[in-house]
């Protein structure tokens, strides 16, 4: 396993966090991340499953990636935490999760609702926002979903 300090992803997210502080933007601290993890996992004692998971979550909550972030973790490596924890932050914004299978959408919605995360499953015609929006891959190609995503973006802009 690579040293955390030598990771290009960590270096990028640390530099981005520093630039956000210089601009006066809110930076998500370690305690807020742990609080979000407690809510998602439903327990007081929380820890990352790997340094890669920690690094990915820090990059996600830095809020600065302007390009897609690709995270590869093994089965059981904690990928769901990477999109559920940001939805539990004090100022969560919106996270859209594109899911390949209907059964997985149902499972993720149930898990998020059990953790009391503000979430919805996107269906054509949806207008309501949520901190966490699950959408089946078959709906993504439809123009209605893209219009919904644009509506969310427009409503988030100051």
CA dist 4 and 1 (Å) reads 9
> What does the pLDDT look like over 81-130, one tens digit per residue?
999 999 999 888 888 898 888 889 999 999 999 999 999 999 888 888 89
Q: How many C-beta atoms surround the C-beta of residue 25 within 10 A? A: 12
- Asked if residues 39 and 115 have their Cβ atoms less than 8 Å apart, the reply is yes
- DSSP state, residue 5: G
> What does the pLDDT look like over 13-35, one tens digit per residue?
333 333 333 334 557 888 999 99
- Asked if residues 49 and 78 have their Cβ atoms less than 8 Å apart, the reply is yes
CA dist 8 and 150 (Å) reads 31
Confidence at 65, pLDDT banded by 50, 70, 90: low
Closest CA to 155 of 67, 93, 98: 93
- Asked if residues 67 and 61 have their Cβ atoms less than 8 Å apart, the reply is no
CA dist 99 and 108 (Å) reads 9
What separation in angstroms does the CA of 32 have from each of 28, 94, 96? 6, 17, 21
CA dist 45 and 126 (Å) reads 37
**Residue 26, pLDDT score:** 59
């Amino acid at each position: 396993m690579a040293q955390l300090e030598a990771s290009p992803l960590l270096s990028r997210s640390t530099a981005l966090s520093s630039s956000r502080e210089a601009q006066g933007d809110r930076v998500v601290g370690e305690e807020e991340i742990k609080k979000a993890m407690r809510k998602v996992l439903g327990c007081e004692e929380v820890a990352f499953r790997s340094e890669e998971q920690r690094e990915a979550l820090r990059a996600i909550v830095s809020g600065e990636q302007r390009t897609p972030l690709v995270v590869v973790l093994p089965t059981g490596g904690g990928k769901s935490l990477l999109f559920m924890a940001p939805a539990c932050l004090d100022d969560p914004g919106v996270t859209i999760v594109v899911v390949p299978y209907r059964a997985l959408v149902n499972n993720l919605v149930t898990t998020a609702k059990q953790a009391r995360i503000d979430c919805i499953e996107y269906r054509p015609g949806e207008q309501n926002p949520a901190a966490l929006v699950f959408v089946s891959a078959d709906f993504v190609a439809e123009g209605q979903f893209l219009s919904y995503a644009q509506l969310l973006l427009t409503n988030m802009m100051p």
